Chains A and B, each alone.
Chain A
Amino acid sequence: MTRLCLVRSYVETRLPGALSPHLRSEPEMLQTGIAALDRLTGGIPRRGLTQICAPPQISSGRTTLLLSLMAQVTRAEEFCALVDASDCFDPASAGAAGVDMSRLLWVRCQRMRGIKPLEQAFRAADIVVQNGGFGLIAVDLGNIDERWVRKTPLSTWFRFARVIEKMPAALVFLLSYPAALPQHAQNRRALPSQIAQKRRNPGALELGAPALPQHAQNRRALGAPAQSCAALTLQLAGSRGRWQENANLFSGVECEFAIGRARTRKPVQSAHGCFTANPVWA
C-alpha cells in the first residue's frame, strides 16, 4: 500500500492529473428540428462525435435529418462544414430545408473508386476540424462502401472524438454502419428489419442481443459499457413512402430511427421513434 502511494505521488508530481478521473460535464445540445428525436436525445451533443447510420440503398431520412440539423445551426448564425465524400449533397434540398447557404462550407470530394474518397474525406475533415470556428462539422460517408469504412482503424474515430471534445462543435458522421464502435459492439447493431419489428412490437427483441460475444457479455454483466468514441449513435431503419394514388403523386415518407447508444442520456439504448418528411411540392 505504501509502495502504491509512493508510485502514485511520483507519477502525480511528474504528470499532474494523470491519475485523476476525467470528468465529463453535461454537453450542450444542438437541436435537430425533429421533435421526436429532440425529445428522446435532447439533440446532437456539442464536443462529441455523433454517428448517424443507415444502409446506403434505402431511403432512411438520414440526409433529411442532417439538413434539418444544419438549418437549425445556421439559423443560430453559426457556421457549418460539410465534407461530402461522394459529392451527393443537393443545394436545392438544403435551401428548401432552410439551410443558410452563406454559412455552409461545402467540401466536395472527388468521385473515385475504392478507398480514395474515404481518405480524401478524412483528410478534409481533419483540416476543417483544425480550423475551428464551426458549430457543426458533418462528414457524409453514407455512400462509401462498408468494406472501405471497415478498414478505418478505431484509433481514427477515437482521435476525432478526442479532438472534438475540446471544441464547441458537434462532429457528425453519416455512415452505412456504426463504425465508431469496437467490433463486438458493432456485432450487436440492430438490422433495419429488427428496428422496424421493435417499433411494431416493443419488448419483443433486444437489439442485436444474440450477437454479443462472451467477453462483451461479461463486461455488460459487470455494468461496464462497451467502449465507444461516439457520444451518440443514431440508427435509421428505413422509411415508408406515402403516395397519393389519385393524384399520381409521391407525397412524403415516414422515417424510423433507433438510438443505438448515447453517453448523454441514460438509459436510451432501445429507444426508437419516427418522423415524417415531405417533399417540397407536398
Chain B
Amino acid sequence: MLFGCISVPDFAVQAALEGSIASFLTEPAAVLEGPDSMLKVIACNEPARAAGVSIGMTRLQAESCGAVRLEQRAIEQEESAQEALLACAYKFSPRMESTAPGTVIADLSGSSRLLGSAEEIGAALLREAEAAGYVANVAIAANPDAALHAARGLKGLTVIVAGEEAQALASLPVAVLEPPEEISEILFHWGISDLRALAALPEIALTERLGQEGLRLQRLAKGATQRELLPAEPPLTFRESMELEEPVELLEPLAFVLNRLLEEAMRRLRERSLATDHLELKLTLELHPEQQLRADGPASTVTSQFQKTLKLPVPSQDAKVLLKLLQIELSASPPPAPVKNVAIEVLPARLRPVQAGLFQPLAPEPAKLEITLARLRAAVGAEDDQGRGRVGFAQPVDSHRPDSFTVLPSGPAANAKAALPETSQLALRRFRPPLPARVEMRAGRPAAISFEHTRNPIVRTAGPWRTSGAWWDSSREWQRDEWDLELNFELNFAGEAGLYRVFQDLRTGEWFVEGMYD
C-alpha cells in the first residue's frame, strides 16, 4: 500500500492570498475571523509570525505588529482552494480523501509502474500543488495517517519506507496528532513533547491512564495504524467564486476578477478533458439604502443578486472567449449597483472533436463566431418586438402564416445539398411591419394605391389570393386577400415596373403593402 498526502501549511492564509506563492513567502499576512467588532487572527504565515503576530490576537494587536496584510476569512475561496487540491490529487489517483481543509490524501497503490518511484510521485505532487498556486508539503508512506502527520510536520517532500514510520515521525511534536485538549495537558505535564517519547510509553500503563484515545494516539505516533480512506468524489460542479474586499463599480476591474475565476474553472475542466457550453454568472450587489427602498426589500437586506447566463452552441475551454462574451453581455446590461461577490458556475460538456481537412471550405471559427454574434447583438439589439432574434440563422417555422420564421443563435444542422432552381427565383423584399396603404378600387380591382406619402396608379393586377389560418385562436387568427400589383411611377422612373405584393386584412378591411418583388 502506498499513500500520498498533500498538506498546505497556513491554508487559510494561502487561500486568502488567492494562490500567490510569492506573497505567501515574503509578505506578512494574517487571516481574521469573527464579528466586525471582535475580529481575531485565526491563521498567519511565517513572515507574520516573525513580525510578532500570533493566533488569537485582535485586529488592533495585529496591526500594531507592523505592516501586516490582514485579510478577512473567505470560506468560498477556501472551498475553491480545497477543490483545486483535490484536482491535483485526482491526476495521480481516482481514490482520494479530503481529510481536512488544506489536506488531501491519495491512494497511490499500484501506481509505481505508471508514475514512477515514490520519490518521483512525491516530486510530481509537489509540482502540481505549486502549479495550482500553493506552497505545500508532501509525504508518501505505507499508511494514510503516517503520510498525513509527516506532511503536516515535515517541510517539502518526505518519503517514508514501510516499517520505518516510527523513526520518521519521531521528531514531530505531539500537537501534530491534534490530541484532545485534556490529553494534551496531561502529556505536557508528563513531559511528553514529541512522538518519540509518546511511542516509548508502555501501552498498558498508557491505556490505564488515558484510555483508548491514549492508545490510539500512541499508535499514530508509531505510524502503525491502518484505515480505509473516505473517498471524495472529484467535484463535477465547476463553481468558482470570490468575495471582494471593496465593492467594484467599474466593469474593467470586474473583468480582472472574472478572468481569474474563468481561468481556474477552465483549468479544472481541461484536467478532465471537458469543456462547457453553459455558464452562469452570479453577482452579489451592494445596494444603497435608497435603492433598497426602491426595490421594496426588507430593511435588513443589503445585497441583491444579478445573474447572467451564457449558452454556447459549441463547447469551449477557452477562458478568453468566455471572458469576452461576459464583457459584452455586461457592457450591454451592466449591474445596477457595485459588485461585492462574484461567482461563476460552468456546466461540463464533452468536447466536440473536429477533424480539419485541407480541402474543407472556408468557415468561421465557432468560438470567434460566438464573440462576433454577441458583439452584433450588442450593436443591433438581441430581439425584435415579436421576440425573434436579430442576429443568427433563420429557420422557417412550420406554419402557413406569411413571414413566419425564427432566428436561431447557431446554425441548424446543415441541410443536404438541395438542387438549385433551373431559373432565377424572384425574391420578395419585405416591409417589416407591412406598410399601411389606401387602395382605390374600380370594378372590384385595385386601381390606385397610396402609401409612404405617394399615390401611384396601378397598371396591372393579379389576385385576389385568399389565405387564412389560426381560426381556432382569436388572438392569432389571420385572414387576408393578397394581390400582386404593377405600379406606374409616372414622375421618376417612367417605363419601369414596380411590382408589389399588397394584402387586405379581411377582419379589419385595412390594406397593407407586404413587400416588393425584386
User: Residues on A close to B: CB < 8 A?
Assistant: 33-34, 55, 57-68, 71-72, 75-79, 87-98, 100-111, 120, 123-124, 127-128, 130-135, 142-143, 168-169, 192-193, 196, 237-241, 243, 248-250, 252-253, 275-280
Contact = CB atoms under 8 A, between A and B. Distances in A.
Contacts of A98: 418-421, 425
B324 to A, nearest CB: 12
Contact of A108 (B362, B390, B494): B390
Contacts of B393: 101-102, 104-106
Contacts of A34: 424
Contacts of A131: 364, 368-369, 372
A107 B426 contact: no
Interface string B384-405: 1000001111111000000101
A91 to B, nearest CB: 4
Nearest to B494: A193
Interface stretch (B69-77, B342-350, B436-444, B510-518): B510-518
A48 B224 CA distance: 80
A275 to B, nearest CB: 6
Contact of B431 (A79, A88, A100, A102): A88
Contacts of B380: 107-110, 120, 124
Interface string B427-469: 1111110000000000000000000000000001011000000
Contact of B463 (A64, A67, A71, A248): A248
B228 to A, nearest CB: 55
Given A131-B364, A253-B497, A93 B391 contact: no
A97 B421 contact: yes
B39 to A, nearest CB: 50
Contacts of A97: 421, 424-425, 427
Given A68-B424, A90-B428, 10 more contacts: A64-B426, A67-B427, A79-B364, A93-B428, A100-B414, A100-B415, A108-B390, A110-B380, A237-B496, A277-B426
19 contacts: A34-B424, A60-B518, A61-B426, A64-B425, A78-B363, A90-B428, A92-B403, A92-B405, A103-B411, A105-B373, A105-B411, A120-B380, A127-B379, A130-B372, A142-B429, A239-B497, A240-B497, A241-B499, A243-B486
Contact of B517 (A59, A89, A101, A102): A59
B392 A102 contact: no
A278 B497 contact: no
A101 B412 contact: yes
Interface residues of B, number: 63
B425 A277 contact: yes
Contact of B430 (A90, A237, A253): A90
Contacts of A193: 493-496
B423 A276 contact: yes
A66 B394 CA distance: 17
A167 B469 CA distance: 47
Nearest to A89: B430
Nearest to B420: A98
B123 to A, nearest CB: 45
A33 B362 contact: no
B478 to A, nearest CB: 16
B376 interface: yes
A196 B495 contact: yes
Given A58-B493, A97-B421, A98-B421, A133 B516 contact: no
Contacts of B419: 98
Contacts of B515: 88, 90
Contact of A107 (B376, B414, B460): B376
B109 to A, nearest CB: 50
A133 B368 CA distance: 10
Contacts of A72: 420
B353 interface: no
Nearest to A64: B427
B352 interface: no
Residue from A105, A238, A252, A276 having most chain B Cβ neighbours under 10 A: A105
Given A104-B393, A108-B391, A124-B380, A134 B362 contact: yes
B413 interface: yes
Contacts of A124: 376, 379-380
Nearest to B414: A102
B113 interface: no
A106 B432 CA distance: 15
A128 B372 contact: yes
Nearest to A62: B518
